[in-house]
Structure 1
Amino acid sequence: MTTLADVAAHAGVAKSTASRALSRPDLVAPDTVARVRAAAEQLGFIPNRAASHLARGRSGIVALVVPTLDNAFFTPIIAGAQARARESDLQLTVAVHRLDDADGLVELERLVRQVDGCVLVAPRGPDDIVRAVGALGPTVLVDREIDGIPSIVADTATAFADLAGRLADAGHRGIAYLGGPEGSWQDRQRTAAIAAAVGDRVTLTTLGPLPSTFAAGVATADAVIDSGATAVVPYATSIGLGLVFALRARGVASPGDILVSAERLVAQAIGADDVPAIDVDGDALGREAMAALIPLLDAPLDTAPQRRLAVSVHWPAAGATHAENAPARR
């Protein structure tokens, strides 16, 4: 089996130089790096990645923490983060921690101290608990902003405001917003943005807090009907699907009687291409969060940058979004 010493001898350099050329090429002259890599390729040398990370005082493992695996929203975030970690020769481990209280912090602390850094999805944990996690090591927060912690956020608040404003412009005078889980940072952002966008042009009914589940959407059907809303903006696709199911069971067709926005791919899957849709690129969210974490593994930043990724709104060209085109409600 070819060893690092064989590569060094073939390239005419010291073993330590060969090691740095393969693991930290930024510390070695470019021509030396090229010579060592050529020797490694010619000899079929496969470096021990774990040993390389340990030599740099790191484990080569990063964590992505989510509050639950029941919410499909987190799946593409995990996939994007894993792909970006792989590109940097890092292993991603996924853990579930709700971080609702100090007990959750103690449990998570054991994990954080065994990895090089953490991408943290904590939509509902108290600020002081999340800050405590950030103080344990390199951390990037996803879909939430707290001063002092770098973060990557999908700017759904702006998208929801845009959608609600367009619904008002289309003639809807009653809009219902189905809120998210209690304590959700994103829910607070969306609630405020929607209210500001529609002003006094419509009667805005806010229902919630609600868990991001199909059952929660089903349970809101009577309240939505009683509100007189002709358009509904749900916090999560699962809530919207539950509402559509319940409305149809009651003989209230959607979007004919009550327009319910959805995620674009879901709307297409259920044959509702004529409803407005919001698309969050979860894969990009995960990738960008991991990309923001990687530089922190070598050295902390003087500042804690907070980025917001644009979220697209799909607005059908057809007139189905106009309230005046809806038939009389049953």
Structure 2
Amino acid sequence: MATLMDVARAAGVSKATASRALQRPELVAEPTRLRVLDAAQRLGFHPNAAARALTTGRTGLVGLVVPTLSNPFFAPLVMGAQQTAEKTDRHLLIAVSEYDPTREAELADRLAEQADGLIMVTPVGTDAALRERARRVPLILVDRQVGRLPAVVADTATGLAQLMDHLLDQGHRDIAYVSGPAGSWADGQRSAILRERAEQAKARLHVLGPMPPTFDAGIEAARTLPREATAVLAYNSYLTLGLLHGLAAAHRRVPEDVSLAAADDLSSLKSTTPSVTALDVPVEEVGALAVTRLIDLLAGHHVTVTSRLPSRPVLRASTAPPANR
């Protein structure tokens, strides 16, 4: 098994420099860091986590709190975060809050005891609680903005407004929005921009919800959808799939009777009948950038920026001009 001294010899540096390159890379010149990393990879050397913690005060662990793993929307986010963490020899500790603020706070406290910093995805805690946590542990928010706390946001609000503009251009003037879970920051952003767009176009926006982002809730939304609505925007793909099922059961055809679009794009939406217009959300990139921002914080950089990644509308067969146009 290769030792740190073996890595130092292979890289042509001292043992202390090799240690700094692997444990505190911000203290080492970039060419030296890359030379040490290359030697470590060739020799199959992996620093001992316990030794690293004693030497640097860092565990190499990143805490990631997600609201659920039952929704496949979060799987690519976790993948993006994991791949970026691994590139710097860090590892993820994942906890699932189930959208419960008390559980979210307890899990974050436990992770903070082991991890160097935290990433909290769509947290449901109060602004005050998140500010207090950021004073105690390096923290990056995802899809939540609280003052100047560093955050990474998938800009689904602007993307959903573009879908709304698409429906308005087609002639729809009675549009429903099936909203997301109660207290969702992202849902509040989306609802506000959709109301603004509807008012500008002198159109009516019917907001249904709050709704849990589930298939069953989509079926229920189809039952309560106003008859005058000629188009529906849904908070997520699960709601959209439920709406498709519920509308078919009610003998309301998509898009002939009702146009339908989703605020994210699971792979299944491409293969439904009809295929569903949706937002292409860069979820994996969001996870990757969140880890990068956390690493910046851990390196002592002053990070107070909200990074916004744009979402792109993908137009498919589920949207069409209203029948009465």
CA contact (8 A) 1:118 1:139 kept: yes
CA contact (8 A) 1:60 1:116 kept: yes
SS of the residue aligned with 1:108?
A: helix
Q: TM-score, normalising length from structure 2?
A: 0.87
Matched, 1:203 2:204: yes
Paired residue for 2:132? 132
Change (3 A) 1:57 1:168: same
Paired residue for 2:250? 250
Matches within 5 A, 1:2-13: 2-5=2-5
AA aligned to 1:207 is: L
Paired residue for 1:77? 77
CA distance in 2, matches of 1:198, 1:105: 37
AA aligned to 1:208 is: G
Paired residue for 2:272? 270
Deviates more, 1:5-14 or 1:307-316: 5-14
CA distance in 2, matches of 1:269, 1:86: 34
Paired residue for 2:288? 287
SS of the residue aligned with 1:220?
A: helix
CA contact (8 A) 1:99 1:105 kept: no
Paired residue for 1:322? 321
* Displacement after TM superposition at 1:68 (Å): 1.9
CA contact (8 A) 2:123 2:141 kept: no
AA aligned to 2:207 is: T
* Displacement after TM superposition at 1:49 (Å): 4.5
Paired residue for 2:47? 48
Change (3 A) 1:107 1:276: closer
* Displacement after TM superposition at 1:45 (Å): 6.5
Q: Deviations over 1:80-132 (max 9, x none)?
A: 11111111110111101257445642442122121001111134322222223
Paired residue for 2:310? 310
AA aligned to 1:48 is: P
Change (3 A) 1:236 1:11: closer
* Displacement after TM superposition at 1:311 (Å): 0.4
CA contact (8 A) 1:168 1:201 kept: no
Give me the CA root mean square deviation. Answer: 2.9
Which structure's CA Rg is the greater one? 1
AA aligned to 1:291 is: T
Gapped regions of structure 2 (runs ≥ 5): none
CA distance in 1, matches of 2:98, 2:143: 15
* Displacement after TM superposition at 1:195 (Å): 1.1
CA distance in 2, matches of 1:164, 1:49: 53
AA aligned to 2:271 is: A
Q: Size of the alignment, in residue pairs?
A: 321
Paired residue for 1:162? 162
CA contact (8 A) 2:222 2:246 kept: yes
CA distance in 1, matches of 2:12, 2:172: 76
Paired residue for 1:232? 232
Gapped regions of structure 1 (runs ≥ 5): none
Identity %: 40
Paired residue for 1:261? 261
SS of the residue aligned with 1:135?
A: helix
Change (3 A) 1:4 1:152: closer
Matched, 1:151 2:151: yes
Q: TM-score, normalising length from structure 1?
A: 0.86
